[in-house]
Structure 1
Amino acid sequence: MLTENSGNGILDARDVQILFVDLQPELISSSRTIQPAALTANAAVLAQVARLTHVPVTFSIVPVQGKPGRNLPALTPYVSPKNTVRRVMAGTFMEPRLVDALGAYKRKTLVVAGYATEVAVLQTALGALKAGYTVYVVMDVTGSRSERTEDAAVRQMEMAGAIPTSVLAIAAQLAPDFSRTPGSEVLLTFDSLSPP
């Protein structure tokens, strides 16, 4: 379902929230479509842009090998018990606590970043679309073990209505005036981005 702003391709920071899904060291280590170091660096930049533009962030993590999951260390400055939801289901929208946490922000544009594209990211995008969110998937903060299967998942998300994007595109829309804050501060974060 598209919102009023989604048709014109312009994001309104007051209606945006960001969801980081399964960006955990043990999981992203197998990424082949973007190197783990680049994925980590880009995730940290996206989180920093969110902080600078006052966009709320939520983290969803899963257990790994029977142990509680943990976020990437680079995301630690942005993580708190209040914005982190642990789950065991593949799809984040299968976890009522997460659905409630996202709904509490009353922001209908959801920017999704995570690992793996074919599982958590795809399920999240489809669940969010079904729940009425406009969904953007940040491709330089999204990884997979396989280009072939990632391409298929991205096509499926696009066909359902999700919009593939990048950290730069999101950042420039959230803070388009680089001559003053927060845009001038957001501009400084671009040097920390890594190519996929």
Structure 2
Amino acid sequence: MLNDASVQLVFADLQEGIVEASATNPAASIRRAVAVLNDIVTALDLPFTVSAAPRPGGPGTIGELPESRPYVRTGPSCWDDTAWRAAVLSAGRPTLVICGVTTEIVVLRTALDALADGIAVQVLVDACGGITPRTEEAALRQIEAAGGVVTSVAGFATDMVRDFTTPTGRQVIAALHRLV
């Protein structure tokens, strides 16, 4: 079971124009899942990072993300960005929970690199978007073969919060109801 002392979230390339390019998960569904994750981050006071691909005119992240200055990286993996990796490692959390677009590029590369460095990884499929169903499925299989866990926002949240009668539990279940 996960707990709020062991997890940090990674929001990768959730940018205007990139989210809409997802061919495997509608942009509205990704945005809804990210908004729910934003509520979960707040309710559980979880650390998170926002990573962005370089784009003309700036990162242009979606409004559903938690408020944060994004790390703009130069390559396909967040792990390759020294400042981002230092921020993640300084939090001292052994599990990265990753979501973003595209699954076959930034999610895959970041997950595999973190796993290779001994960090546990969970990927939230309903907060990800891929290039094609076939290539996204191949990326998710690679992550699982390397030891990562592929799950959903609801699966992640209910692993973190097991009692919905507490004030925090009520916040989390209310957020999850917005997934439907």
TM bucket (normalised to shorter chain) is over 0.9
| 1:79 equivalenced with 2:67 (yes/no) | yes
> What code does the residue aligned with 1:27 have?
I
- Alignment of 1:161 with 2:150, yes or no, is no
Structure 2: unaligned runs, 5 residues or longer: none
Moved beyond 3 Å, runs of 4+: none
- Is the contact made by 1:15 and 1:109 (CA closer than 8 Å) also made in structure 2? yes
- Structure 1: how far apart are the matches of 2:141 and 2:156? 20
* Corresponding residue number in structure 1 for 2:12: 21
Deviation at 1:136, TM superposition (A): 0.2
**Alpha-carbon deviation of 1:37?**
0.5
Equivalent-residue separation in structure 1 for 2:117 and 2:60 (angstroms): 27
TM-fit CA distance, 1:55: 1.1
Q: CA RMSD in A?
A: 1.0
Residue in 2 that maps onto 1:4 = none
Q: Give 1:6's aligned residue.
A: none
Any gaps of 5 or more consecutive residues in structure 1? 1-9
Whose helix proportion is higher, 1 or 2? 1
How high is the sequence identity, in percent, across the aligned residues?
33
Shift of 1:145: 2.1
- 2:129 corresponds in structure 1 to 143
State how far apart, in whole Å, the 2-side matches of 1:119 and 1:38 are: 20
Q: Is residue 62–residue 68 contact of structure 1 (8 Å, CA) maintained in 2?
A: no
* TM-score normalised over the length of structure 2: 0.96
Match of 1:46 among 17, 37, 41: 37
Distance in 2, Cα, partners of 1:102 & 1:111: 11
How far apart, in 1, do the equivalents of 2:64 and 2:97 lie? 19
Give the deviation of 1:168 after TM superposition.
0.5
CA contact (8 A) 1:53 1:175 kept: no
2:31 is aligned with 1:11? no
Calculate the TM-score normalised by the size of structure 1. Answer: 0.89
Residue 13 of structure 1, CA deviation:
1.4
Mapping 1:165-180, distance limit 5 Å: 165-180=151-166
- Where 1:14 maps in the other structure, the secondary structure is coil
